Amino acid sequence: MSLDLAIGIARSGLQATQRALANVSQNITNAETPGYTRKTGAAESRTAAGMPMGVRLGDARREVDQALLNERDSRGGEAAAAQVRESLLSGIEALHGTAGAGETLGDAIAALQASLTSLRGAPQEGGLQRVALNAAREVTGRFQDLAAGVADARQQAHDGVLREVTQVNAGLNEIAQLTIAIRGDRSRGLSTADLEDRRDLALAKLSQSLPVQPLHQPDGGLVLLARGGFALPLEPEGEAITAASADLGASSFHGAGGDIPPILLGGADITRQLGGGRLGEFVALRDATLPRYQAELDLAAATIATRFDQQGLRLFTGASGQVPDTSLPYTDPTGGQLGFAGQIRLSDAVAGNLALLRDGTHAVADTPGGASGFTPNPADGPAGFATLLDRVITHSLGQTVRPGVTWPPIASSGIGPDGTLSSPFIPPRAIGDYAATLTGVQAADRAAATAARERAEGLKAGMDARFQREAGVDPDAEMAALIRLQNAYAANARVLNTAQQMWEQLQSIGR
């Protein structure tokens, strides 16, 4: 081997070691940088005509398990969705209060029944009449507070849709820009490892808003498929997905005839195709969960108002003094049930004349299969008149409309603003039991969201740890590699120095 060849080999070793040292230094420096993966370069022997010509260190590259990365991002989307659901439903659960502690709607109805029972013992007692009226007012307040909380949460969900659409568009723009850069550098033979790290980080962030399945192309390109089966365009500028703001009311819904604007992709409505991530969860809450809550509250409010009215006491009415017709479908505008929980209040007549709690507000005709006949206590009637109180305690707040005849079941299907929703439980006949059941079911939804979040976060944490072991930076291993490379650099430097000394000695002999 000639000295020139030896010097060349040693020089290539120094250059390869320098590049490897740069990789290690970069790894150590970025060990805590989010999304950064360990970079390595493969050493390649160089030969010519069978003679060794040194070594060359390949471009920095990363070793990433794409399937693991995709699964981790999917779990991140599930956790983000569960966080959204847990957050919105927690506020509603707080409004419901704690069952058995006198805080829930069912507790308020039970307190009303107890106050009417006490009044039954002394129907003429003004103080007991006032207690009963206040208990009824507490029932209306609970309905109104819960309805307002559901309406506010639903508006928050729609506003969340708008925020997430903005986030999705920003993520698609960033991913598109990085993909263009990756394809360009790859076509020029340059390392794209750092750009791919940044793109993976952007994909992870995007998946929290809208879960996607990335399909990597050989040239560095990318195809993104959403969970709904549609492809997402990658453009460095502009908005791929659009949504419009709206002020939601009790009758608002998305779909044919609805007033909630659709989420559009290229002019096509993709609202129903969205699933998972914060965006999909906001849509599900806005269009299914919260409208169902609203309908269940409306049905409870309409039922208690109707059942009191049918027994001869118009205690609860709407804003204009009307009582809903629960025999009609929930969505029938003439029935007055939709949105009733938000407007239920005490009858002006009863609030202005407490004696009506004893005497009744109107006569009731005997109806086959309906309430039995009732005549109110006249002005000069007995002070101890208890007929009405017996009717409302036994029937309005019980399971029967008259002895031996049960109330028609409270609707559990065909509910929601568009009539497409159903309650996940069989409605009890008694209104107090129904109120207690819907409180328990709605509180259970929050608990399920919390459990889903904890499960998804636990799975993601496990995948994060596995990914870190496989593709992340281990500072101890990098420091050990740094020492090995320093020794290799010193060895190559000695070879180069020795070859240089030999060359100088040969030159001195020639002189």
175, 222 contact by CB (below 8 A): yes
> How much is the pLDDT for 472?
67
Mean pLDDT for the chain overall: 88
The closest alpha carbon to 258, from 416, 136, 35, belongs to 416
Spell out the residues 6+ positions from residue 147 whose beta carbon is closer than 8 angstroms to its own. Answer: 294, 297, 298, 301, 339, 341, 342
Would the pLDDT of 471 be above 90? no
Percentage of the chain beyond pLDDT 70 is 82
72, 463 contact by CB (below 8 A): yes
The closest alpha carbon to 275, from 66, 446, 74, 69, belongs to 74
Would the pLDDT of 155 be above 50? yes
Of the pLDDT bands very low, low, confident and very high (cuts 50, 70, 90), residue 465 is confident
> How much is the pLDDT for 57?
46
> How much is the pLDDT for 55?
52
Alpha carbons 388 and 382: distance in angstroms, whole number: 12
CA distances from 379 to 205, 382, 383, 385, 400 (A): 72, 9, 9, 11, 29
Residues 367-380 have pLDDT tens digits of: 988 999 999 999 89
Query: Got the DSSP string for 371-382?
Result: PPPB-PPPTTS-
335, 414 contact by CB (below 8 A): no
17, 54 contact by CB (below 8 A): no
CB contact burial 421-430 (16+ within 10 A = b; e otherwise): bebeeebbeb
Query: Got the DSSP string for 65-109?
Result: -HHHHHHHHHHHHHHHHHHHHHHHHHHHHHHH--TTTT-SHHHHH
10, 488 contact by CB (below 8 A): no
Residues 382-436 have pLDDT tens digits of: 999 999 999 999 999 999 999 999 999 999 999 999 999 999 999 999 999 999 9
**Per-residue DSSP letter, 59:** P
Element (H, E) at 268: strand 268-269
Query: Which residue's entry shows tokens 């609203």?
Result: 294
The one-letter code for the residue type at 351 is A
Of the pLDDT bands very low, low, confident and very high (cuts 50, 70, 90), residue 509 is confident
Would the pLDDT of 7 be above 90? no
The closest alpha carbon to 356, from 117, 126, 114, belongs to 126
Going by DSSP bridges, is the β-strand pair 264-265/268-269 parallel, antiparallel, or unpaired? antiparallel
263, 270 contact by CB (below 8 A): yes
Lowest mean pLDDT among 4-18, 77-91, 94-108, 271-285: 4-18
Residues 438-461 have pLDDT tens digits of: 999 999 999 999 999 999 999 999
Query: Which residue's entry shows tokens 């009863």?
Result: 350
Residues 259-316 have pLDDT tens digits of: 999 999 999 999 999 988 999 999 999 999 999 999 999 999 999 999 999 999 999 9
The closest alpha carbon to 95, from 153, 39, 8, belongs to 153
**Per-residue DSSP letter, 261:** P
Would the pLDDT of 47 be above 70? no
Would the pLDDT of 317 be above 70? yes
Better-predicted residue by pLDDT, 488 or 53 = 488
> How much is the pLDDT for 296?
97
Output the six-digit token pair for 101.
């502690």
Of the pLDDT bands very low, low, confident and very high (cuts 50, 70, 90), residue 6 is low
Find how far residue 175's CA is from the centre of its chain. 24
> How much is the pLDDT for 478?
57
Percentage of the chain beyond pLDDT 90 is 69
CB contact burial 124-156 (16+ within 10 A = b; e otherwise): eeeebbebbbebbebbbebbbbbbebbbbbbbb
Going by DSSP bridges, is the β-strand pair 405-406/400-402 parallel, antiparallel, or unpaired? antiparallel
Would the pLDDT of 322 be above 70? yes
The one-letter code for the residue type at 294 is Q
Output the six-digit token pair for 190.
């340059």
Alpha carbons 137 and 154: distance in angstroms, whole number: 26
Lowest mean pLDDT among 49-53, 288-292, 334-338: 49-53
Spell out the residues 6+ positions from residue 94 whose beta carbon is closer than 8 angstroms to its own. Answer: none
Output the six-digit token pair for 416.
């929601």
Would the pLDDT of 245 be above 90? yes
Output the six-digit token pair for 205.
């962030």
Lowest mean pLDDT among 4-8, 80-84, 351-355, 479-483: 4-8
208, 168 contact by CB (below 8 A): no
Q: What's the average model confidence in pLDDT over 485-490?
A: 59
Alpha carbons 437 and 425: distance in angstroms, whole number: 8
Would the pLDDT of 492 be above 70? no
3-state helix, strand, coil in the chain (%, to 5): 55, 10, 35
